[in-house]
């Protein structure tokens, strides 16, 4: 059985790119695999470079094969998704800030939801040299540096950051998703209506849903740092007020009850859900 397919790697992100790139993850296998893996919501879109066999995806049962080796994977929203892995796994993922696709590619967040969008079709710059440079790379260190260079180029064409929105996202993540929209809008001194509208336009999902995803990701982060997986106790630590509320949110976002998930064949997926 596949034990893991996406692990964080310890790599120094340049200071100038930290507002865009939150972490780097690596999925790699020595041998060929043949499996399907569920993909669950996280609060970060991904820049993905596949350097071995390209995975296929099932979105609500419909099979999708990415057009490119370079993609922006948007947030998941109200769908079930699985990755079909056939062959050798080799992919680098760059966890982007939730608003990064909006800034870098000048498209609303909803455009990226539930899809892998090919970089060549959305980048405001020519990516042909980038692709050639990546093909010359033999190590992940070389690949990462090439992609850092791409990010530098994209930043020169990006739209200005929305400071209050960046503040809101930081507050939500720092509070583990446990904050109301009213409290956020009051802190930011903007109307609740404007906050909800602009957040959804840029990030792609409503702020209430985003908070739930962050809250659940915080729970997985807590599980990953502790050996004794007493889910209900951890759920209370992460701001859930009762067991029923927690189980209801878990089923909506993960698709099964907590005990079934942790005791099932895909329990290792929790290593990918954790907030980084």
d(CA 88, CA 28): 7
The runs of H, that is alpha helices, within the chain are 100-105, 119-122, 128-136, 140-156, 163-174, 181-188, 192-203, 207-224, 231-237, 243-254, 258-263, 270-273
CATH number belonging to domain 163-273: 1.10.10.60
According to the model, what pLDDT value does residue 1 have? 42
Mean pLDDT of 236-252: 66
Q: Which fold has domain 7-156?
A: Jelly Rolls (2.60.120)
* Rounded (5°) CA angle 216-218-222: 120
Query: Residue 165 and residue 3: Cα distance in Å, rounded?
Result: 37
Sheet strands side by side (includes 46-50)? 7-8, 21-28, 90-96, 46-50, 70-73, 116-118
Query: Cβ distance 153 to 125 under 8 Å?
Result: yes
Domain locations along the chain: 7-156, 163-273
Bridge partners (DSSP) listed for residue 118: 71
Judge whether residue 6 has pLDDT over 80.
Answer: no
More confident residue, 268 or 152: 152
For residue 197, pLDDT over 50 is answered with: yes
Mean pLDDT of 215-225: 68
d(CA 254, CA 185): 29
Least confident stretch, 82-96, 99-113, 200-214, 241-255: 241-255
CA dihedral 102, 53, 80, 254 (to 10 degrees): -90
Q: Per-residue confidence at 273, pLDDT binned at 50, 70, 90?
A: very low
- What pLDDT is recorded for position 274? 42
Whether 154 and 124 have beta carbons less than 8 Å apart is answered as yes
Return the pLDDT at 194: 96
User: Do the first three CATH levels of 7-156 and 163-273 match, i.e. the same topology?
Assistant: no
Decide if pLDDT at 184 tops 50.
Answer: yes
CA angle 20, 161, 73 (to 5 degrees): 40
Residue in the block written with tokens 């062959």: 87
pTM value is 0.84
Beta-bridged to residue 149, according to DSSP, are: none
pLDDT in tens, 90-148: 999 999 999 999 999 999 999 999 999 999 999 999 999 999 999 999 999 999 999 99
| 81-87, strands of its sheet edge to edge | 33-39, 81-87, 56-59, 62-64
Q: Report yes or no: 202 and 96 within 8 Å, Cβ to Cβ.
A: no
Please give the residue that has the higher pLDDT: either 241 or 164: 164
């Amino acid at each position: 059985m596949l034990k893991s397919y996406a692990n964080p790697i310890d790599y120094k992100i340049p200071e100038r790119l930290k507002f865009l790139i939150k972490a780097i993850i690596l999925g790699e296998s020595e041998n060929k695999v043949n499996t399907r893996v569920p993909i669950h919501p996280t609060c970060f879109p991904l820049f993905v470079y596949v350097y071995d066999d390209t995975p296929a995806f099932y979105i609500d049962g419909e099979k999708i094969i990415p057009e490119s080796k370079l993609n922006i994977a948007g947030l998941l929203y109200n769908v079930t998704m699985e990755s079909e892995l056939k062959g050798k796994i080799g992919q680098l993922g760059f966890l982007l800030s939730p608003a990064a696709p909006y800034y870098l590619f000048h498209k609303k967040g909803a455009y990226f939801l539930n899809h892998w969008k090919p970089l060549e079709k959305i980048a405001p710059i020519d990516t042909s040299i980038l692709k050639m440079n990546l093909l010359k790379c033999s190590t992940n260190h070389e690949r990462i540096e090439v992609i850092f260079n791409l990010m530098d180029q994209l930043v020169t064409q990006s739209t200005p950051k929305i400071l209050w929105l960046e503040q809101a996202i930081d507050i939500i993540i720092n509070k583990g998703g446990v904050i109301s929209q009213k409290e956020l809008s009051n802190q930011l001194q903007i109307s609740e209506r404007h906050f909800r509208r602009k957040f959804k336009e840029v990030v792609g999902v409503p702020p209430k849903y985003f908070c739930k995803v962050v809250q659940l990701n915080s729970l997985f982060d807590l599980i990953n740092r502790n050996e004794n997986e007493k889910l209900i106790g951890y759920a209370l630590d992460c701001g859930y007020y009762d067991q029923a509320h927690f189980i209801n949110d878990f089923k909506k976002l993960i698709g099964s009850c907590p005990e079934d998930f942790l005791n099932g064949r895909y329990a290792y997926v929790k290593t990918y859900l954790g907030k980084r």
